[in-house]
Amino acid sequence: MDITSAVTVGGILSLGIGVTITFYHYKKRNLEKLFNQVYETAKQIPKQKKNSFLLLMFKESLSASKHKSNTTSTSSKLNNPKYLEIQLVHMSRILKDNSKIQDKTIKRSLRLLNNYQTWEKNKIAKDKKAI
């Protein structure tokens, strides 16, 4: 292997590592923004419906990212109280028994919910420590 090919391989590897680090940085930052928005929104929800509502919000945000053209229709659906109540009942059933789930979006939403809950515990602990 001569010097030019070694430099080329080194450059490509360093570029790949840089892109990977940048990708994870932006992903973490956007996830932090999402969790902050959800945290502020979840303050208005009653405690018994909180987890169902959070799962619904994560499901809608993941499905909205797949279909970016339908963002207005999802927001109008969430303003409909009957649709919202039906979806909350559906989400509570999913939370009670999540072993039968086949949908990838719901599985990702459940992972986001678990990540959010750990993030929320850390945020509350950090806020208490700051006080």
pLDDT digits (tens, 9 = 90+) for 25-70: 999 999 999 899 989 988 888 888 899 999 998 888 888 766 665 5
pLDDT greater than 90 at residue 74: no
pLDDT higher at 69 or 125: 125
State the pTM of this model. Answer: 0.77
Which of 24, 51, 44, 47 shows the shortest CA–CA distance to 116? Answer: 51
Rounded Cα–Cα distance for residues 12 and 7 (Å): 9
Query: What count of other Cβ atoms lies within 10 Å of the Cβ of residue 109?
Result: 24
